[in-house]
Amino acid sequence: MIEYVTTPAGRPHEPQPAEPDRPHDPDPELRTERAFLDTARAALRRMHADVVATETPLIGGEDNDERFTNESNLRARWLRAQSLVDLPDVPLFFGRIDYDAGTVAEAADRIHIGRRHVHDEAGAPLVIDWRARVSVPFYRATRTDRQHVHRRRRYGFSDAADLTAYDDEILDGTGTASDAIDAGSTEADAFLRAEIERPRTGPMRDIVATIQPEQDDLVRAPLQPSICVQGAPGTGKTAIGLHRIAYLLYTERERLSRGGVVIVGPNRSFLSYIRKVLPALGEVDVRQTTVEELLGQPGTVGTAGAAGTVTGDPRAEQLKGDARMAAVLLRALWLHVGTPTEGILYTKGANRYRVHDYAVQEIVESLRGATRYAPGRNSLAQRIAHEVLVLMERRGESPDDRVQNAVARSRPVKALVDQVWPKVTPEQVLFRLLSDAAFLAAAAGADLAEDERAELAWAKPPRSAKSAKWSPAELVLLDELTDLIERRAGSLGHLVVDEAQDLSAMQLRALGRRCRTGSATVLGDLAQATSAWTTGSWEQVFEHLEMPGTRLVELERGFRVPGEIIDFAARLLPTIAPALGRPTGIRSLPDALRISSARPAASPDPQGFLDSLADACRNALAGEGSVAMIAADADVAELRAGLLDRNLPSALLGSADDAMETARLVCVPAMLAKGLEFDAVVVAEPARIVAAEPRGMARLYVVLTRAVTSLHVVHAEPLPAELRDTAVG
């Protein structure tokens, strides 16, 4: 029985914010809004207390069904209580829309919009959930299509979620406030800019207050068909995926609750970064995991834990992720089905019944390829038994199903089935494939060349399948074999795959199998593809996921990364992704980019480089918000030690889940930078990042686009040729 713990007072162990002690504000409208915020917070606390105090009826508990029902009811109550916890650093509402009089039936024409629904004791709404239909005009109304909205108000909050300001937009021409962002506009209004540029520390924040119309279209897209967001840096594709989950759980909760919702991210550092977004939106029951963990392979990817990591022989691991391996594994499995050398003689009393080998072979051929391996093996026994029953009936007997089952379980039939259609495990099949050259050649057919088979085979095979230490790519092959032997039951309701461009064909197939009847949100950027399995197109990804008809949407307007940084990084695009359009940054920060040459390359002075790097980090720390020093993976430890020697302590990303919360300065291995954002970024030695891996130029593109406010590139070695004609700093 699952136990959901509450405090003696009956409330979960969550801090409840006290009412703030504010100085007197001369603005009466601001005082009114603050009073309303206090009222709404008190109402939310009452809603939470009501749920906690509600008795959950329990039944019997004597059998499994009753225990399951009780645990489900307790969990539902616990989840509801968790969703109503008032997070002290999250504003309860962020906007307001004033409709024309009489627009909203059976509700006030003035609506406060927030991250969750809040009502008073009488049930009247105080805050409307941002996902509700009545909230849509907050994101989409413009002067040219104001959707019956007279006023749109946005609120400013301190880090402690205390309301500090508001900004009005009058859409019907009766006021002088600035218009909203129209589709195709190149500049965000000042209030939105302030929210985007607000300094950040620790995990990712939601963007529910700043969702733009093109983002809102994707967030509110229907559950079917699946969608894919090809998004340049700063377009908010990860945020779109997270807010889309929250929206779908609001509109399709019952349907999705049956299969569940899962987010698959590239590594644990990324998942730690996004982990607070959904709880802030009131959704606390969404699993966030990596591919390896989802496949039941915790801790198999090495220290960095990044999807696309190759830990064995690079060429062999790349081959193991190749789509051709699906056909190789299928043949390898069915090669275990043999040809009967003799029939079966079944004896019952004085009667004997013979099924000849050719009859058994006909049964085998009819089953081969028509079913999965394990059901086929079971069917073979039943089909042979059925042939025996036919012989019995010809002799005037009247056998029933019980006789057929007895024949199928008899020693002669079991022996024949074991000889013709042996029971196998995924580990046994893969062990034989990688350790037996002749078997590999037979299974490979025309799919793998001789040199590829040589690279794929183990140089030193382990003693047995049980003693084998499987690599991450091999574990994905085992997952494929598991499904080939017996079909995986069930399906997720919805799957979100972030940084999908880095997954192998075999990983994508494994994800698709877990979402056979559900839908997916696929997120990524082909320009940021850095793995050994980089795909050439999203259509290939959809094919491997077995999700035809997926809607592809390209986002090129970057709201978060300044235009100066985007333009600098985009110089790499003709080299790494010539088919993609050039992204546009809608925010301009003239001082966002700085490039420093630490020393002439001909006069090595590592201490001089470290001094320059430390100066760049100090300058970044002089501002507000988070700071990242990003370098080639192999260099991070040495550079971090050098910064510490210069009185600049830092956290190391990847060393702990909360690394980004323990220090303002975080040292980031380049391989873990994908998907993260920092206020200021210092990049150490781009040339070494490029040289560290085959797709190093794409890795550098990722690294250069992590900054929301400023990017400082410090180098001693020459910059890549594409970046050399820039002199900034």
The owner of tokens 């963990």 is 293
* Same-domain status, 371 and 446: no
Structure tokens at 656: 């702990």
For 594, what's the count of Cα atoms within 13 Å in the CB-facing half-sphere?
Answer: 19
How high is the pLDDT of residue 182?
41
Ramachandran assignment for 338, one of left (phi > 0), alpha (psi -120 to 50 degrees), beta (any other): beta
Is residue 512 exposed (0-12), middle (13-18) or buried (19+ Cβ within 10 Å)? buried
* Same-domain status, 719 and 602: yes
d(CA 170, CA 191) in angstroms, rounded, equals 14
- The helix or strand, by DSSP H or E, that contains position 409, with its residue range, turns out to be none
Please report the sign of the dihedral spanned by the C-alpha atoms of residue 536, residue 577, residue 309, residue 519: negative
* Same-domain status, 78 and 163: yes
Cβ pair 710, 619 in contact under 8 A:
no
Structure tokens at 695: 């797709």
Structure tokens at 348: 């019952």
Q: Note whether residue 729 is domain-resident.
A: no
Cβ pair 193, 587 in contact under 8 A:
yes
* Same-domain status, 430 and 522: yes
* Same-domain status, 193 and 59: yes
* Same-domain status, 509 and 370: no
Query: What's the CATH number where 308 sits?
Result: 3.40.50.300
CA distances from 552 to 150, 226, 486 (A): 35, 9, 33
The owner of tokens 């590239």 is 266
Cβ pair 387, 361 in contact under 8 A:
no
Q: Note whether residue 15 is domain-resident.
A: no
Task: Render 352-367 in DSSP notation, one character per residue.
Answer: EEEE-HHHHHHHHHHH
Cβ pair 725, 672 in contact under 8 A:
no
Amino acid code (one letter) for 607: Q
Q: Note whether residue 204 is domain-resident.
A: no
How high is the pLDDT of residue 73?
73
Of 555, 590, 606, the residue that ends a domain is 555
| Known binding positions for ATP | 231-238
Please report the sign of the dihedral spanned by the C-alpha atoms of residue 84, residue 87, residue 88, residue 91: negative
Cβ pair 523, 549 in contact under 8 A:
no
* Same-domain status, 358 and 398: yes
Domain count, the chain: 4
What is the chain's alpha carbon radius of gyration, rounded to the nearest angstrom?
Answer: 31
How high is the pLDDT of residue 186?
36
Taking the model in full, what pTM does it have?
A: 0.86
Cβ pair 594, 711 in contact under 8 A:
yes
d(CA 34, CA 154) in angstroms, rounded, equals 13
Residues in CB range of 608: below 8 A, 6 or more apart:
598, 599
Q: Note whether residue 728 is domain-resident.
A: no
Task: Render 110-149 in DSSP notation, one character per residue.
Answer: EEEEESS-EE-TTS-EEEEETTSGGGHHHHH--SSS-TTE
How high is the pLDDT of residue 239?
95
* Same-domain status, 77 and 189: yes
Residues in CB range of 672: below 8 A, 6 or more apart:
267, 269, 270, 304, 306, 653, 654
* Same-domain status, 137 and 55: yes
Which residues of the chain are modeled with pLDDT < 70? 1-26, 58-66, 68, 105-108, 160, 174-193, 196-197, 297-312, 599-605, 726-729
* Same-domain status, 673 and 611: yes
Q: Note whether residue 11 is domain-resident.
A: no
Cite the DSSP H helix spans in 311-425.
Answer: 314-320, 324-334, 357-367, 373-394, 401-408, 411-420
Q: Note whether residue 205 is domain-resident.
A: no
| Known binding positions | 231-238
Please report the sign of the dihedral spanned by the C-alpha atoms of residue 657, residue 662, residue 668, residue 673: positive
Q: Note whether residue 186 is domain-resident.
A: yes
Of 418, 447, 475, the residue that ends a domain is 418
* Same-domain status, 458 and 331: yes
Task: Render 194-263 in DSSP notation, one character per residue.
Answer: HHHHS---SSPPP-TTT--HHHHHHHT--SSS-EEEEE-TTS-HHHHHHHHHHHHHHHSHHHHHHH-EEE
Q: What is the residue range of 376's domain? A: 347-418
Q: Note whether residue 134 is domain-resident.
A: yes
Angle at which helix 373-394 crosses helix 411-420, to 10 degrees, equals 140
Of 537, 555, 573, the residue that ends a domain is 555
* Same-domain status, 409 and 440: no
Cβ pair 240, 215 in contact under 8 A:
yes
Beta bridge partners of 630: 668, 683
